[in-house]
Structure 1
């Protein structure tokens, strides 16, 4: 019988009949039993083998149409696609394994982390005289991640609320000098998982492009089967004995269609297509073996695809909280628009004078509207210290909290206080 000879189940034979892919030579009008010719046995076997490598039904029909060149090209293209998906699957699987192994991780919006890195790193030192000052301190505590950097003249700190948190609290210092490509990569991600490892900070995309591509692996065949009349699904992996039993159960009185039963003519699969399918099956198996070790190389160096590693500086970060707690009471508070102030600072002077009065401020003699609370005061800033703090600030309006002319000035958004920057005033220039 065809079921036993081909390795297809009776339900699969019905399904391929409904699809027009393997039409019986004759159907008994009384019992509905299907009869096939000897020549259709090889076609049935080819269909089973093609479905075993996830070849879509419409492609199977073309492959078996008799055009050998067309069949070989389609098989090569399909195997190439399977190889690509296998590599992507290895990447995703390796990433998932590492994620599962993370005892301490925090989930964050990737674009928000990119923004925080960009803002805070402006306060990191450009020189390596004190190496740790060229880094950014990351502190995962509770449900948040705090980023802090300081070069002793500026200090920036921003706290991000996590989407999810696992494990104990942790801290480390990442090297700000290597963050530029990572920041660019983060801007294209949705959610990121950050976790400390023995080799630095590991950033893993929760939903990478590889995940999206891999989501379609094997879906073509399943989708085609799902559309079959009556919802029948072809079980290409059924054992021959099981297929025979199913066929026997269908036949009235246990009768079965013999392989050599007389029947009408039907198109036979070309012998060349048999060889082509055999070659494609072997190539797919070889590709699976080649992909086995692909995942082990993922993430070497800076990472690929859905993950990146940040280099760390293995030194103790200064106690910046002691600086914040020792600022003293605020004597003067200034609220002003960010962009006009930024435009004045970008004019190229090395030092600017801030004259804070009751009705506004003057920056090197240029008046700016501002709301001032507290006493009048004069300050001087190095533009190289103040400009990055204003440039990376959050929101259209800024708040300056001033304790004294020789104490750090706290700069933060008037509407969003999760980014705080300290800028140290300088001495009045000798030319007044």
Structure 2
């Protein structure tokens, strides 16, 4: 059938994938008028040229786009149409996240069971800790738990942990009130990021755990509620316990190291640690080597990193100086403040290029 041939509404519905009833609705709405209407019978006929437009209308409606927005997309240029589609999808995703969180709140109050006190923490300190640790979280298809923050509370401390399997960040905090019993759960990282601003403004925040989520009770403001993720969190304790012996330790000023990393052109860098300093090498280009003064002990060592792994690990370290504990070119490197141990990040090296 050529594009100039007319077809009945039934034939057009079959070809375009749009039902006849929907085609009548779109015609009445001005989105897709028939090519011709028989003045006697009132039968509607469409042309092959209209199949593409009908298919676009169908796909836009399948993603829940309102009729008015569909018309705007059809009338817009390619760039503007793409922007309108992205804008609609962002709204749908945002609305879904809000609905998901509200549903979790509703489930939390069903049965009116009091939440378990997990910890009482200073709001600004907790907000900073959440932001620091969540730099190691990641959205990965098939493993939604990697986008979460693991919270473990005991009488001694509250530990926050996140990992993307190449990096692991963990920070310990001291609670003003110990929990009635030990508790652990993985909280939605996305919802925690949204809650951080409110948490930061509260002098003290009470963490109360329920079956489906954690409530952050803030003084003089609206409580924040974050869902618990049901998937098992990676066994990070086993990894921490199995770390090998430190063979090289280096302490270097944080800001100069960050500036050097920011100036790297490649996707990977290497750190060559020797007595008196550490060389930062861009990839395998020895001509792009920058020496930073540092305090080093142990054997000389060279380790390669993806820049996207090393930079966040260094940038979130607390204090002016960072300490790196190295265990070899293929073992996790521990990165933390030179004088504070409550925030620790493990960064996984990568293999050196074959030519090295």
TM-score range, shorter chain: 0.5 to 0.7
Q: CA deviation at 1:359?
A: 1.4
Q: Secondary structure at the match of 1:120?
A: helix
CA contact (8 A) 2:154 2:179 kept: no
1:423 equivalent in alignment to 2:337? no
| 1:218-254 deviation line (CA, Å, top 9, x unaligned) | xxxxxxxxxxxxxxxxxxxxxxxxxxxxxxxxxxxxx
Q: Give the Cα–Cα distance (whole angstroms) in 2 for the partners of residues 105 and 375 of structure 1.
A: 43
Alignment counterpart, residue 141 of structure 1, candidates 143, 151, 154 = 154
Residue of structure 1 equivalent to 2:129: 116
Q: Give the Cα–Cα distance (whole angstroms) in 2 for the partners of residues 378 and 105 of structure 1.
A: 43
Q: Give the Cα–Cα distance (whole angstroms) in 1 for the partners of residues 157 and 243 of structure 2.
A: 24
CA contact (8 A) 1:123 1:150 kept: yes
Q: CA deviation at 1:317?
A: 1.1
1:342 equivalent in alignment to 2:266? no
Alignment counterpart, residue 168 of structure 1, candidates 164, 173, 181 = 181
Q: CA deviation at 1:431?
A: 5.5
Q: CA deviation at 1:105?
A: 3.1
The aligned runs of 1:159-198 (5 Å cut-off) are 159-198=172-211
Q: CA deviation at 1:188?
A: 1.1
Q: CA deviation at 1:175?
A: 1.5
Q: Give the Cα–Cα distance (whole angstroms) in 2 for the partners of residues 391 and 140 of structure 1.
A: 26
Residue of structure 2 equivalent to 1:312: 228
- Give the structure with higher Rg (CA): 1
Residue of structure 1 equivalent to 2:315: 391
1:158 equivalent in alignment to 2:75? no
Q: CA deviation at 1:166?
A: 3.5
* Structure 2 stretches lacking a partner, 5+ long: 1-111, 282-288
Q: Secondary structure at the match of 1:340?
A: helix
Q: CA deviation at 1:100?
A: 11
Q: CA deviation at 1:400?
A: 0.5
Q: Secondary structure at the match of 1:394?
A: coil
Question: TM-score under structure 1 normalisation?
Answer: 0.53
CA contact (8 A) 2:155 2:179 kept: no
Choose between structure 1 and 2 for higher RCO, CA contacts under 8 A separated by at least 6 residues: 1
Q: Give the Cα–Cα distance (whole angstroms) in 1 for the partners of residues 162 and 141 of structure 2.
A: 14
- Select between 159-168 and 112-121 the one with higher mean Cα deviation: 159-168
Q: CA deviation at 1:143?
A: 3.6
1:352 equivalent in alignment to 2:248? no
| 1:286-320 deviation line (CA, Å, top 9, x unaligned) | xxxxxxxxxxxxxxxxxxx3310112211111111
More strand by share: 2
CA contact (8 A) 1:409 1:425 kept: yes
Q: Give the Cα–Cα distance (whole angstroms) in 2 for the partners of residues 415 and 381 of structure 1.
A: 24
Residue of structure 2 equivalent to 1:4: none
CA contact (8 A) 1:143 1:164 kept: no
CA distance 1:411–1:130, change in 2 (3 Å) = same
Q: Give the Cα–Cα distance (whole angstroms) in 1 for the partners of residues 179 and 155 of structure 2.
A: 10
CA contact (8 A) 1:128 1:134 kept: no
CA contact (8 A) 1:203 1:308 kept: yes
CA contact (8 A) 1:356 1:377 kept: yes
Count of residue pairs brought into register by the alignment: 238
Query: CA RMSD of the aligned region, Å?
Result: 1.9
Q: CA deviation at 1:127?
A: 2.0
Q: Give the Cα–Cα distance (whole angstroms) in 2 for the partners of residues 102 and 197 of structure 1.
A: 5
Q: Give the Cα–Cα distance (whole angstroms) in 1 for the partners of residues 190 and 351 of structure 2.
A: 29
Question: TM-score under structure 2 normalisation?
Answer: 0.64
* Structure 1 stretches lacking a partner, 5+ long: 1-98, 209-304
Alignment counterpart, residue 295 of structure 2, candidates 354, 371, 392 = 371
Q: Secondary structure at the match of 2:168?
A: strand
Q: CA deviation at 1:162?
A: 0.5
